[in-house]
Structure 1
């Protein structure tokens, strides 16, 4: 679990600028071909011109708060479920067939539990990252959370959760199945 926590904290420094760019590109209303449209490099250039390099790290505190514990939960749940499956089936979760189904389930459940543990933080992170600090109604993620709750109630903190959980199950099931299959092949 501690390795997952460490990995989550380190990767936050890479994920934050990518998320800022992704979210800004998603909320942009111009379409390719329009004069006001900008791609990823143009968006990065705009952010740096307006807010400096630190603009690419907008939302880093909430990204750290989201990713640090969630990665610990993610790896803990995966290995715990994998251990249960292996103890029941007396087989390693690394071969083709029934053990592969176990890896698939363990990975999928790990992804779902990980996202459930931090989803409201992701909502705040995305809203904070959508605009530069000087253009945003939110200066911090805590202010964002308070304002969302005050103006909209608790529902927005869970908006989009079902789609995220479906995606989390499938993506993480595939990731761990591929990882364990590769490791099994390398160790054979």
Structure 2
């Protein structure tokens, strides 16, 4: 609530929508990559002679983790731009494209596409693994019959989204700090150094700051994601 009041006082209603354009564009690209990879891998594993006899849950989990791995290479630059747009105190970047091109010119493609990649992989692989795996299991379970057919993707998608965030939220905190840096600060922003600094500043609780809001957002976001898929 304190953060909400602070943003409202300093920036007004528009402050809550800072970076929303980059997030919408980025999420469209990321979800397209993750969902298509997951669907392709399920089909591949089901017909491959080495894996076609695997239990259904194992097939779902392997496909889901691969989706997270592939999507990480898209997520990294997309979220770098989104983080910088949301965190800017002045109008340093005129638009998402201006931010993208500015970082590309200043730091080169290597930094744009790899800064935070390690943390992103550590987040996306288990997160998408839980996300698609749990949703697939729930949709194939007897629980589907307990709710109207149209509501099942919404409810189970929301639950899967919340579950996917719980174990990896601390990694997301670290990743966000790493990506919210310019070229001069990058040398001091490794995963380990950021983790140590977070712990020194706030203990274990610092890694879960804002989790309640993230879970609420995750339920709504992923309910509509699967509901429209």
Same fold (TM over 0.5): yes
Residue in structure 1 matched with residue 108 of structure 2 by the alignment: 52
Distance 2:200 2:99 in 1: 32
Give 1:151 shift. Answer: 2.3
Aligned length: 168
Matched with 2:137 is 80
Residues 85 and 102 of structure 1 are in contact (CA less than 8 Å); yes or no, is this contact kept in structure 2?
no
Higher-RCO chain (CA-CA 8 Å, sequence separation at least 6): 1
- The gaps in structure 1 that reach 5 residues or longer are 92-96, 180-188
Measured after TM superposition, the shift of residue 40 of structure 1 is: 1.8
Any conservation in 2 of the 1:55–1:132 contact (CA below 8 Å)? Answer: no
How far 1:137 sits from its partner (Å)? 7.2
RMSD: 2.0
The whole-number CA distance in structure 2 between the counterparts of 1:163 and 1:41 is 28
* 8 Å Cα contact 1:20/1:129 also seen in 2: yes
Structure 1 pair 124–21 and aligned structure 2 pair: CA distance change class (3 A): same
TM-aligned CA distance change 1:103 to 1:30, over 3 Å = same
Q: How does 1:24-39 map to 2 (within 5 A)?
A: 24-31=84-91, 36-39=92-95
Give the TM-score normalised by structure 2: 0.67
Alignment of structure 1 residues 21-170 onto 2, 5 Å: 21-31=81-91, 36-57=92-113, 58-86=115-143, 89=145, 98-136=148-186, 138-170=188-220
Cα distance in 2, alignment partners of residues 165 and 119 from structure 1: 10
Q: Distance in 1 between matches of 2:188 and 2:224?
A: 36
1:120-176 Cα distance to aligned partner (Å, 9 max, x none): 111100000000353247431122111110222122211111111111111111222
Name the SS of the counterpart of 2:182 in structure 1.
Answer: coil
Q: Segments of 4+ in structure 1 off by > 3 A?
A: none
Cα 1:170/1:81, change in 2 over 3 Å: same
Give the TM-score normalised by the residue count of structure 1.
0.81
Matches of 1:8 and 1:63, distance apart in 2: 9
Q: Equivalent residue for 1:14?
A: 74
Distance 2:220 2:131 in 1: 14
Q: Report the CA distance shift for 1:123/1:137 in structure 2 as closer, same or farther (over 3 A).
A: farther
Q: How far apart are 1:49 and its partner, in Å?
A: 2.6
